[in-house]
């Protein structure tokens, strides 16, 4: 059966959730189900992400959430694969509908980031244990010993190399942040909406050279949901259905930085893009808007190139000339991207899908990309050790 995205839902991205994880997940689930024109009892597939990607495992979260919603399902799972998690939950729903295992599959992605050290001494040991488990999972048993709590130094080395290889400047990186912030100004879901300038970015606190505070995404919380239905049910959707016409996925045998390869050209992104474009019968020139997993300014530039939108080393010039912000053939991250929409990692790819669906529906108000017909969603894990690319089009 042909799977179609017929319902979407999301809450604003914030530093912490305003309600409990279960209540937030319920809110976006019901929003997406209602948008699809369905009742909760018609959902027969459920795919979720862990309620806190960087926290303790969400043991039996899919089962508990299905119980909470009162769902009887024929396909159900909790999915996890680093930053790509929500994208693979969506792919699982698409597969379930395609194979006929499900007629209406719900995908709920949530990330509740609690980064504060607990004040109660009795809770500190549990916090430390979770932090150690997270470090080993993030970096592996060797680099984890250095105790760095975020992947920023890896991406900083990547940025240094990109500046060196392509004679780009820190001002070029800053322009990326400024452009994405301008995109987010009219996005009610965005965490960061106050306009910034190149001078603001350059003056922001150094984090790991050459990256400064405003070159980096924030630790954020949020939740989004998507409903995928078989074609007969799509007629009940409150908005035009959207088809996923091509998917690509590629993982290299590395975890957080492939020591065998370039750090300014990523095999996973190039390969996943080739697969997706081939399956969809499209080229990068056909894409009207793209939502990319660019968590740092330099990574944004590299992805513009690896996904085929610009030749290698030309992305910085493209940003300077406004070719990524509506004056070119493809609008990059109209949501504001990870730097301005915010980055609840466990839910980030589903926010990207929600944005593309709404753009293809023509439902984005003052930030609508004119004439949008073809969109792209990209997600990654590690430091581009794995990539997922999907091409979305109006059904």
Q: Are 303 and 310 within 8 A, CB to CB?
A: no
Pick from 198, 131, 193, 197: nearest CA to 340: 193
Grouping H, G, I as helix, E, B as strand and the rest as coil, residue 390 is: strand
Q: What is the pLDDT of residue 196?
A: 98
The encoded tokens of residue 91 equal: 């792919």
Determine if the peptide bond prior to 210 is cis (ω within 30°): yes
Q: Which is nearest to 54 in space by CA: 163, 173, 174, 134? A: 134
- Quote the Cα angle for 349-353-357, to 5°: 170
Q: Give CA–CA dist 104/240, Å, rounded.
A: 16
Confidence (pLDDT) at 117: 47
Query: pLDDT by residue for the chain (395 residues), tens digit each?
Result: 789 999 999 999 999 999 999 999 999 999 999 999 999 999 999 999 998 876 666 789 999 999 999 999 999 999 999 999 999 999 999 999 999 999 999 999 999 876 544 556 555 566 566 666 666 677 777 677 666 666 888 899 999 999 999 999 999 999 999 999 999 999 999 999 999 999 999 999 999 999 999 999 998 999 999 999 999 899 999 999 999 999 999 999 988 878 788 999 999 999 999 999 999 999 999 999 999 999 999 999 999 999 999 999 999 999 999 999 876 779 999 999 999 999 999 999 999 999 999 999 999 999 999 999 999 999 999 889 999 999 999 97
Mark out the alpha helices in the chain (DSSP H runs).
21-35, 61-69, 85-98, 121-143, 152-166, 170-184, 198-203, 267-280, 297-306, 315-320, 337-340, 348-361
pTM: predicted TM-score of the whole model, two decimal places: 0.93
Q: Tell which residue, 15, 22, 80, 21, has the closest CA to residue 50.
A: 80
H/E stretch holding 107? strand 104-111
Give the pLDDT of residue 123: 58
The Cα 341–Cα 333 span in angstroms is 9
């Amino acid at each position: 059966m042909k799977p179609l995205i017929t319902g979407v839902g999301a809450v604003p991205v914030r530093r912490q959730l305003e309600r409990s994880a279960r209540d937030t997940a319920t809110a976006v689930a019901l929003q997406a189900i209602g948008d699809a024109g369905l009742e909760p009892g018609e959902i027969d597939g459920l795919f979720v992400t862990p309620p806190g990607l960087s926290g303790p495992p969400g043991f039996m979260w899919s089962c508990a959430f299905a119980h909470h919603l009162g769902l009887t399902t024929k396909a159900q799972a909790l999915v996890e694969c680093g930053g790509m998690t929500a994208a693979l939950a969506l792919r699982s729903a698409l597969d379930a509908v395609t194979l006929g295992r499900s007629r209406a599959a719900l995908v709920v992605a949530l990330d509740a980031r609690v980064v504060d050290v607990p004040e109660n001494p009795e809770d500190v040991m549990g916090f430390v244990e979770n932090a150690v488990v997270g470090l080993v999972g993030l970096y592996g048993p060797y680099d984890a010993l250095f105790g760095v709590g975020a992947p920023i130094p890896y991406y900083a080395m990547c940025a240094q190399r990109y500046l060196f290889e392509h004679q780009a400047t820190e001002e070029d990186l800053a322009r990326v942040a400024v452009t994405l912030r301008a995109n987010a100004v009219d996005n009610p879901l965005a965490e960061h909406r106050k306009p910034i300038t190149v001078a603001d970015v350059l003056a922001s606190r150094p984090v790991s050279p050459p990256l400064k505070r405003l070159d980096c995404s924030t630790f954020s919380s949020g939740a989004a949901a998507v409903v995928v239905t078989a074609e007969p049910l799509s007629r009940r959707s409150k908005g035009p259905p959207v088809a996923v016409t091509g998917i690509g996925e590629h993982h290299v045998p590395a975890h957080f930085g492939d020591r065998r390869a370039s750090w300014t050209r990523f095999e996973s992104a190039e390969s996943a893009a080739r697969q997706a474009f081939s399956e969809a019968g499209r080229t990068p020139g056909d894409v009207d808007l793209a939502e990319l997993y660019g968590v740092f300014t330099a990574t944004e530039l590299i992805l513009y190139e690896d996904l085929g939108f610009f030749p290698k080393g030309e992305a910085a010039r493209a940003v300077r000339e406004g070719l990524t912000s509506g004056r070119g053939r493809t609008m990059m991250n109209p949501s504001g991207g990870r730097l301005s929409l915010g980055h609840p990692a466990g839910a980030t790819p589903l926010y990207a899908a929600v944005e593309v669906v709404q753009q293809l529906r023509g439902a984005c108000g003052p930030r609508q990309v004119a004439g949008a017909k073809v969109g792209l969603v990209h997600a990654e894990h590690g430091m581009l050790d794995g990539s997922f690319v999907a091409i979305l089009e109006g059904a």
